[in-house]
Amino acid sequence: MKKWLGFAAAVAMSFAITSASAADKLKVGFIYVGPIGDHGWSYQHEQGRLAIDAALGDQVETSYIEKVDEGPDAERAIERLARQGANLIFTTSFGFMEPTLKVAKRFPDVKFEHATGYKRADNVSTYSSRFYEGRYIIGQIAARMSKSGVAGYIGSFPIPEVVRGINSFMLGAQSVNPDFKLKIVWVNSWFDPGKEADAAKVLIGQGADIITQHTDSTAPLQIAGENGVYGFGQASDMIAFAPNSQLTAIVDDWSSYYVNRTKAALDGTWESTDTWGGINDKMVGMAPFTNMPDDVKAEAGKTTAKIISGRFHPFQGPIFKQDGTEAAKEGEIISDGELLGMNWYVKGIDDQLPQ
């Protein structure tokens, strides 16, 4: 039922996309998994689209379809954009991977960009952000700010992207407090403010005095604020929701990537690439460090600077897996390939990873 409704909504929304007027302009299309009003994931992609409009508005025309379900419906939505003459299409969720490739095959002259995926083609690029860099920093802050030594982590789905974030957070926390504890709750949804709020309340009730989330709404941070514990923003700066509780936020910033790729498509230098950018590439940003003492702030700033300069990598050995086996030797860095398929917890997490 919900799927069907989602599809109907997608169809209804697709009528609302802006239509083309000038034929000579480059047309750039976006597919969003959520509503642009989620103030999280899709919202940030929308900010990227607006950045294209602002920078190249005289040469390009952008449009989007929001609330597109991952799965077969996505193929129809992507194809619709392609048929309407889009020259460059960004599909902004992991689940759009197969649909993007399928449509790309049928439209060899259209350029596609798929976020967070790993399958490419001559006309399909992939791009993602190294959010885990930010997670290491907030892990470190969390361990400094926590009195109970326990943080609550609200996860969406146990996919490598999220598991990597949990590990990175934990490694950051352990760098400050080796006995730091993490309680993890999976809500099996990217977006359910009520359930995310419930999870936050339960975690706080169990002694967590730091709340962090890998879901898309502002609810967990807001609950943290109401209960006087600390939290972090996710995807965008959410300080307005918890002015006295947000320590910082990991901010997705797609603007420069989107503008650059659109420029490349305009001047004909576009080719299929794989981009995985971090803080250094300005694809991951940190919101101002707030509500913390100056020494913690300074330390967080230092870690950020070390990551930017490349002198430090969050997954730099020695790293041990939960079962005690060594994942990376002293000085060794876990490879991008291993990071992209990460399906194990680091030592110190007393939870079992759902398989």
Partner 1 sequence: MDGTQAIILTIITASTPLLLAAIGELVVERSGVLNLGVEGMMVMGAVCGFATAYTTGSPTLGIFAGIMAGIGMAFIFAFMTQTLVSNQVATGLALTLLGLGLSGLIGESFVGLPGVKLVPVSIPLLSDIPFIGRILFGQDILVYASIALVIATTYVLFKTRVGLIIRAVGDNHHSAHSLGYNVIMVRYACILFGGACAGLSGAYLSLAYTPQWIENMTAGRGWIALALVVFATWLPKRLAIGAYLFGTVWIMGLYVQAQGLGIPSQFLSSLPYLVTIIALVIISGNKTLTRVNTPACIGQSFVPDR
Q: Which residues contact partner 1 by CB under 8 A? A: 1-2, 5, 8-9, 12-13, 34-35, 37-39, 43, 67, 152, 158, 183-189, 191-199, 201-208, 217-219, 222-223, 226-227, 236, 240-241, 350-352, 354
In angstroms, what is the minimal distance from the CB of 4 to partner 1?
9
- What is the C-alpha separation between 269 and 273, in angstroms, rounded? 11
Residue 233, SS3 per DSSP: strand
In angstroms, what is the minimal distance from the CB of 243 to partner 1?
8
CB-wise, 26 or 163, nearer to partner 1? 163
In angstroms, what is the minimal distance from the CB of 86 to partner 1?
23
CB-wise, 100 or 246, nearer to partner 1? 246
Residue 212, SS3 per DSSP: strand
Q: What is the Cα Rg of the chain in Å?
A: 20
The residue assigned the tokens 């009003």 is 37
Q: How many CB atoms lie within 10 A of CB 288?
A: 11
Angle between helices 72-83 and 97-106 (to 10 degrees): 40
The residue assigned the tokens 């299309």 is 29
CB-wise, 86 or 210, nearer to partner 1? 210
In angstroms, what is the minimal distance from the CB of 28 to partner 1?
22
In angstroms, what is the minimal distance from the CB of 25 to partner 1?
26
Amino acid letter for position 321: K
Structure tokens at 9: 């909504």
State how far the alpha carbon of 135 is from the alpha carbons of 139, 261, 281, 297, 298, in Å: 6, 26, 16, 15, 17
CB-wise, 179 or 267, nearer to partner 1? 179
- What is the C-alpha separation between 46 and 235, in angstroms, rounded? 12
CB-wise, 103 or 170, nearer to partner 1? 170
CB-wise, 324 or 331, nearer to partner 1? 324
In angstroms, what is the minimal distance from the CB of 79 to partner 1?
22
In angstroms, what is the minimal distance from the CB of 185 to partner 1?
5
User: Can you say how many angstroms the Cα of residue 122 is from the centroid of all Cα atoms in its chain?
Assistant: 25
Residues near 239 by Cβ (< 8 Å), separated by ≥ 6? 233, 246, 249, 287, 288, 290
CB-wise, 27 or 39, nearer to partner 1? 39
